[in-house]
Amino acid sequence: IQLETLEKRLKDADICLQFDKDALDFLVEVGYDPVYGARPLKRAIQRYVENPLAQAILSGQYKSGDKVVMRREGDHLAAAA
């Protein structure tokens, strides 16, 4: 649900966002806590997806019409158009 909301916001800017399986697995790993459950997931999405993607969009790396795929690279996610 959290990712769908982000995907919809980017779709309004005509940017298609997709995640490969390893990227989704990574978000599950860092976004789950045995005590708090999935509550940390929103913060993980902000830290590993939203913030880097926003910086890339503002710097002009991605623009309207682009398809961005998030992939896991070690201990972080990387976006590629």
Q: Which residues of the chain have pLDDT under 50?
A: none
pTM of the model: 0.86
Cα–Cα distance measured from residue 22 to residue 15, given in angstroms and rounded to the nearest whole number: 21
pLDDT computed for residue 37 by the predictor: 85
Listed residue (22, 20, 81, 25) closest to 53, CA to CA: 81
Give the CA diameter of the chain: 41
pLDDT computed for residue 11 by the predictor: 94
Domain boundaries along the sequence of the chain: 2-80
pLDDT computed for residue 2 by the predictor: 85
pLDDT computed for residue 24 by the predictor: 96
Instruction: Tell which CATH classification among 3.40.50.1390, 1.10.1060.10, 3.10.20.30, 1.10.8.60 matches the domain 2-80.
Output: 1.10.8.60
